[in-house]
Amino acid sequence: MDDRRDETSSEAHGEFVRRVHTPVSVEELFAWHERPGAFQRLSPPWEDMELLVPHEGIHDGARVTVRMHTGPVPSTWRIEHRDYVANRQFRDVQLEGPFDEWVHTHRFEADGRGSVLEDHIRYALPLGVVGEMAAGWFTRDTLDRVFTYRHRLLVNDLARHAAYAERPRLRIAITGASGFIGTQLSAFLTTGGHEVVRIGRGDVRPGVVDVAWNPERGQLDPRALEGIDAVVHLAGASIADRWTKAHREAIRSSRVEGTSLLAHTLAQLDRKPAVLLSGSAIGYYGDRRDEVLDESSVPGDDYLAQTAVLWEGATAPAERAGIRVVHLRTGIVQGARGGALAKLAPLFRWGVGGKLGDGSQWMSPIALSDHMAAVHFCLMEGAVRGPVNLVIPEAVTNDEYTRVMGEVLHRPTLATAPAFALRMVLGAEMADLTVLASQRVRPGVLERAGFRWDFPELEGMLRFELGA
């Protein structure tokens, strides 16, 4: 296909070119794009995009169909891959979508000990010159934001996997693989060459549920997990839903019963996995105001803290069976597609974001990409075991979080949600143990083990996740 611009055309054509150097061979760079999960990893989290049909790969004739929610009426974008040449190029050509023309050529070149990816896009906006006048700047700005994000994520992911290039790729079972964190973790691992086996509820469905389980009924077939190298356990009822009596019970039972079932099942396998990474949370420490907390700190005594104690304790059968167990004490994960950031960012964009309570409570966040990198680090580093705090090196107060969010989004932050109002809306216990709780947590184990954060500070992680 010829990429040269037709100067005689009456359409308003645009061209965008962006190159990035990567720390891996051209063969590994190309292979990363061919593996399952590449589309999910490269989709900017601030774009409301839904993959309607499982990605078929990048061979000639393979298609991608997504639904875009960028306006009042969702639109469908259908792309076909063409002109595939292994380790050199492939093209994405729009069959249906918002542009009159869209051809995205991915070119791959060797470059010394690394490689270079060039993204070359030729596009034509609807309505010709009128469309260019109305939306040309917006289109170019959007492409710049998107590919700044894509290229940084690509380089970061490749570097994480390259650090363990000499290690065998793993077969990793994941519970909660369809959730906010699990979806991206699965994509991160598969693009790195690992195989992901999804443990989920309901019938087995390829690419969605590979192994069925039902924790309430104690159902999990051990035979389906024979030969698994590692397990990442993320499943559990959300703490963000209103805490009715039934939901309080679901929060605890989903964590304790599910973990117990999984640990007992793994313990009885003939070939046991080397490691179980089991979800936990910094709620383990309770509300501790200004106290600096690390993995050696004692647990709190409130509902969430005691739930976390039972949650971690439920892994004991796996540990007794000789499986290395890591408790992932996760902080406030910052990802634009889910969790706290997905709820807070729209409020700030609308100009109604502000402090929660008096803003003095400590928050211990972590970027979604660093959370996944830390999980990967714990998988690959055999000396890491026991509790591990997944947070950035320095916690921030809610007051500081509010200020930085306003600066990133260029919005005022004068609004305040008083503590009494939060207690009325959420319920006193839920408000006090979540949005008003103060947890100043340090990642002592990760620091001592040599983990490197891509986003060790709040502003950088927010700009990356929000495309700001």
Q: What is the pLDDT of residues 4-46, one digit of tens each?
A: 333 333 345 788 999 999 999 999 999 999 999 999 999 999 8
Percent of the chain with pLDDT over 70: 94
- pLDDT for 4 equals 35
Separation of alpha carbons 245 and 227, rounded Å: 40
- pLDDT for 137 equals 57
Contact by Cβ (8 Å): 271, 227: yes
Name the average pLDDT for the chain: 91
Burial environment of residue 148 by CB neighbours within 10 A (0 to 12, 13 to 18, 19 or more): middle
Compute the Cα dihedral for 144, 146, 150, 153 and give only its sign: positive
- pLDDT for 450 equals 97
> Which residues fall within 8 angstroms of residue 324, CB to CB, at 6 or more apart?
274, 275, 276, 382, 385
Q: What is the mean pLDDT of residues 378-403?
A: 97
Percent of the chain with pLDDT over 90: 73
Q: What is the pLDDT of residues 40-58, one digit of tens each?
A: 999 999 887 778 777 778 9
Q: Which domains are assigned to the chain? A: 13-162 (3.30.530.20), 171-466 (3.40.50.720)
> Which residues fall within 8 angstroms of residue 260, CB to CB, at 6 or more apart?
314, 317
- pLDDT for 215 equals 92
Closest CA to 403 of 363, 443, 437: 363
pLDDT at 135 over 50: no
Q: What is the pLDDT of residues 421-465, one digit of tens each?
A: 989 888 899 889 999 999 999 999 999 999 999 999 999 999 999
- pLDDT for 70 equals 65
- pLDDT for 5 equals 35
CA angle 141, 147, 153 (to 5 degrees): 140
Q: What is the pLDDT of residues 56-95, one digit of tens each?
A: 789 999 998 988 776 667 788 899 999 999 999 999 999 9
pLDDT at 127 over 80: no
Contact by Cβ (8 Å): 405, 326: no
Which range has the worst mean pLDDT, 117-126, 267-276, 296-305?
117-126
pLDDT at 3 over 50: no
Closest CA to 330 of 362, 286, 374, 290: 374
- pLDDT for 72 equals 65
Q: At what angle do helices 458-466 and 398-409 cross, to 10 degrees?
A: 40
Q: What is the pLDDT of residues 251-291, one digit of tens each?
A: 999 899 999 999 999 999 999 999 999 999 999 999 999 99
Q: 194: phi > 0 → left, psi -120 to 50 → alpha, else beta; which?
A: beta
* pLDDT-derived band at 134, boundaries 50, 70, 90: very low
- pLDDT for 13 equals 73
- pLDDT for 11 equals 45
- pLDDT for 403 equals 96
Q: What is the pLDDT of residues 317-328, one digit of tens each?
A: 999 999 999 999
The number of angstroms, rounded, from the C-alpha of 329 to the middle of its chain's C-alpha atoms is 16
